[in-house]
Amino acid sequence: MSGPQSIPADAAPIWMFPALVAPAILSLAAAIFLGVADIPLGDVAAVLTGGGAAEARLIILDIRLPRIATGILAGIHFSLAGYLLQTITRNPLADPSLMGVSQGATLSVTIFLLFTVYILEPGSNTLAELPVAWLPAAGLAGGLLAGGVIYLLAFRLGLSALRITLCGVAVGAVLHAVAIGLIAGWGSARIEIILEWLSGSLYARSWDHAVFLLPFTIAGLGMLPVIYRPLMLLQFDVPVARSFGLAYRWQFSVVLIVSCVLAASAVGAVGPVVFVGIIVPHLARLLAGRNFMLSLALTIVLGAVTVTLGDLAGRLLGQAEEIPIGVVTAVFGAPLLLALLRKTM
Amino acid sequence: MSPRQSHLAIGLVVVAAILAVMLGLLVGAKTLSVETALRVLLAPDGKIESVLVWTLRLPRSLAAVAGGAGLAVSGYILQTLTRNPLADPGITGVTSGAVAPIVCCFVFVPWLSPAFYPFVGLAGGLAAASLTFWVSRGGQGRPLQLALGGVSVSLFLSAITTYVLLLTGPQSASLLFWLAGGFQGRTWSHLFYMLPWTIVGVIGALALRRVIGMFMLSDHAAAGMGLQLGLWKPLILILAVIPVAGVAPVAGPVAFVGLAAPHIARLLRPRGTGFEIGLSVGLGALIVTVADIFARSIALPRELPVGIITALIGGPVFIYLVQRGQLNLAGEAR
């Protein structure tokens, strides 16, 4: 498998990073200023500086900003998780959504939504008390469980990257089938909510979601200095990495866990957003060349930008019936991914 | 296995499948005794048991037989054509390729007669298969490439399908049940509607068993034996998609049967491609029939979709195959 090591050596301009921060800020500004509701620039500025009309304040502070914040964090989670997974499996196209983590989170959220319906049904007819705030936690738990299964399989399979990936694909397919089966069998009134979540959406995400994600983002980013050296070594073949002093099994486990936690928490908060974790790290490596630190940094920035812009596109294109970010990334990501698959393997 | 033993094995599987169909007549929300089932089967009398057997359980069980046979033959052809033991209609994206456009037709072109759905499914399945094959260089690349290519195609299509379901609103419940894969409420008309596609797939595979067998060799060797690859590859690929195009509109995606049945058949080591195909088809029918019986009896009074059961059986088979390392894992060491 031609992994990250097969990247052209000469393309490593460090100025790439500042050059990308500008578009990142621009996309952030665009996401704040643009939307279905037309708010003049002056009013937006007024809101951001603490004034403005009540309606504009509501739209910007309670709808757009939390949504953008959740999107940025989720984007970082997805892209970083993909980057880590790609590095340790030495497979440039590995991704949590290809390997069962997303499907595990999906299954547990599905069970959670169905189960709470049953808890509430006998006593009261209202389903409004459904504790939706627990959704991210449920997603996190399921994603981690699926990650754990893949983790155990990985060791049984002798840490072979190919086998881990293939088993992840199978685990994902089984979990997905079970989730769809449960929705079909027990879904009834909850189908639309589950579908909405299943399509991977930032619709109606509140500050709660961003606050839920933040500790995991901090923990994930905080682990980077710790796993930086092992990650760099994991780019090499196992014997080479070992000769540089890599404790393969141990370091492999740590990176895999960080990756699963990032991916599972993000799926819990916004649903399965596919392809971001594959495409973004690939793009980052393409831009950064052999500069490992730069490619890592670019992955983080580009992940945030991709999800922010994708969500903005979905909001603007769909108007009232907005297009979920998961659909936007699938439509744009799939052709790119297929082209990459053909080219790189 | 000598040819004689192979005949015997196929005979046993067929007998088992017939027994499974019979069992399927007994099991359900109302359990029938063997005598009752046989009596109404031989002499339908219009009473409740008779209606139960003749209009609900028999067509449903037979649809499961036909569906399983179709998926198995498709899986067999795909595995041989790509020389990739992990290929099956689900992994290569054929199933989602067939399912997604049918959902779109159902939602956006509701006046389109369901009789066209297999054709829609055929076109979609072929498009998806071609894409996966293009990505993995005719399926002859590494197993990983085929699997990732197929899963990417499937992820893309399922994102579209979910979105369409989201737009559909209340109608989506029935679509979802179909999407989970299953045979609940399938009637004689469903069966007859699927049957031609399955038959074409099975008969076609048996008739072309020599050509299909040649694909087990390398492209070079097959060409050396006088096989016109440019002609036969696309034809055999179409043959692999045809049964799925029949099964998908009726039963939705039923995962992993196309993967597991041919592998179990090969484990028995029958002699010759024809026997392998026959055994795969029989095992596919048997697996889906049994899965269907489970699906409607373990969670009474509710029904589980068959897709759950086959996934729970097939997933571990897949992992076992990967773990046993009996794959042609070319390039793994790199």
pLDDT on residue A63 = 80
How far is CA B235 from its chain centroid? 19
CA–CA distance, B156 with A329 (Å, rounded to integer):
9
**Residues whose CB is less than 8 angstroms from the CB of residue B41 and which lie 6 or more positions away in sequence, other chains included:** B25, B53, B54, B58
User: What is the least distance, in Å, from the CA of A22 to any CA of chain B?
Assistant: 31
ipTM of the shown complex: 0.81
**Residues whose CB is less than 8 angstroms from the CB of residue B254 and which lie 6 or more positions away in sequence, other chains included:** B67, B68, B71, B181, B182, B247, B288, B306, B307, B310
CA terminus-to-terminus distance, chain B: 37
Location of structure tokens 């159902």:
B106
pLDDT on residue A123 = 53
How many residues are listed for chain B in this entry? Answer: 334
pLDDT on residue A6 = 42
CA–CA distance, A92 with A2 (Å, rounded to integer):
8
User: What is the least distance, in Å, from the CA of A318 to any CA of chain B?
Assistant: 11
Low-confidence ranges of chain B (pLDDT < 50): 328-334
CA–CA distance, A178 with A176 (Å, rounded to integer):
5
CA–CA distance, B30 with B8 (Å, rounded to integer):
35
Given an 8 Å threshold on Cβ–Cβ distance, is A162 in contact with B163? no
Handedness of CA B68, B73, B74, B75 (dihedral sign): positive
CA–CA distance, A184 with B307 (Å, rounded to integer):
11
Angle between helices B117-135 and B94-108 (to 10 degrees): 140
pLDDT on residue A11 = 47
Residue of B nearest to A195 (CA): B166
- Count of H helices and E strands in chain B? 15, 0
User: What is the least distance, in Å, from the CA of A184 to any CA of chain B?
Assistant: 5
Contact A311, A30 (CB under 8 A): no
User: What is the least distance, in Å, from the CA of B156 to any CA of chain A?
Assistant: 5
CA–CA distance, B139 with B79 (Å, rounded to integer):
9
Q: Which two tokens stand for residue B139?
A: 């399926």
pLDDT profile of chain A (345 residues), mean per 10: 43 66 82 76 77 77 85 93 86 77 88 69 51 76 88 73 78 87 76 80 81 89 87 76 74 85 88 87 83 87 91 82 85 85 74
Residue B184's CB: how many other CB atoms inside 10 A?
19
Contacts of A165 in chain B (CB under 8 A): 144, 147-148
CA–CA distance, A15 with A294 (Å, rounded to integer):
10
Cross-chain CB nearest to B169 (options A170, A185, A192): A192
pLDDT on residue A59 = 80
CA distances (Å), B249 to each of A283, B14, B78, B98, B253, in order?
Answer: 39, 26, 20, 8, 9
Residue of B nearest to A93 (CA): B148
Contacts of B173 in chain A (CB under 8 A): 184, 187-188, 191
Contacts of A275 in chain B (CB under 8 A): 152, 155
User: A97 touching B, CB under 8 A?
Assistant: yes
E strand intervals along A136-221:
none
User: What is the least distance, in Å, from the CA of B40 to any CA of chain A?
Assistant: 30
Contacts of B328 in chain A (CB under 8 A): none
With helix as H, strand as E and coil as C, how does chain A read?
CCCHHHCCCCCCCCCHHHHHHHHHHHHHHHHHHCCCCCCCHHHHHHHHCCCCCHHHHHHHHHHHHHHHHHHHHHHHHHHHHHHHHHHHHCCCCCCCCCCCHHHHHHHHHHHHHHHHHHHHHHHCCCCCCCCHHHHHHHHHHHHHHHHHHHHHHHHHCCCCHHHHHHHHHHHHHHHHHHHHHHHHHHCHHHHHHHHHHHCCCCCCCCHHHHHHHHHHHHHHHHHHHHHHHHHHHHCCCHHHHHHCCCCHHHHHHHHHHHHHHHHHHHHHHHCCCCCHHHHHHHHHHHHHCCCHHHHHHHHHHHHHHHHHHHHHHHHHHHCCCCCCHHHHHHHHHHHHHHHHHHHHC
Cross-chain CB nearest to A167 (options B134, B143, B322): B322
